[in-house]
Amino acid sequence: MTGSADLERLEAAVSVLRSLPPGERPVSDLAQAQLDLSRGYEAAGRQEDALAASRDGIEALSPRFLTEPAGLAEAMRALVTQYVSLSQHARTKPDAALLQPVAQALGDLARAEDAQGTANDLPLRRVAAER
């Protein structure tokens, strides 16, 4: 289980990254921090907080991911997997409006990777198929 000091450290990391001006905010670092926070909350049994943190990570990463998906695909895949898993655990439907553009971009990227023989996204194909 994640201790309160660990969660405080993770929360502080997210807070610091979010406090940076948007042009100076390292989006991939923020996405990773949100994912780490979500996993920390999940380990501490704080499922609603874990779900919110993974959603926040997707929201933070989406604008840049949609313009440059190849460079951020791994981070987005991890966040989406976490978000969908937590949604299923909570017996709630994932937010289709949030995931639709992400799933489309991941699908486009997967088709391009398939054409090059480098696809590595089987878990997210399942997510896209569930929509």
Q: What is the pLDDT of residues 78-125, one digit of tens each?
A: 999 999 999 999 999 999 999 999 999 999 998 888 887 654 545 555
Residue 131 reports pLDDT greater than 70: no
The pair of three-digit structure tokens given for residue 34, joined into one six-digit string? 């949100």
How many independent structural domains does the chain possess? 1
Q: How far apart are CA 73 and CA 121, in angstroms?
A: 9
Q: Domain range spanning residue 62?
A: 4-130
Confidence of residue 72 (pLDDT cuts 50, 70, 90): very high
Report pTM: 0.82
Give CA separation, 118 vs 87, 99, 103, 114, 124, in Å. 29, 23, 18, 6, 15
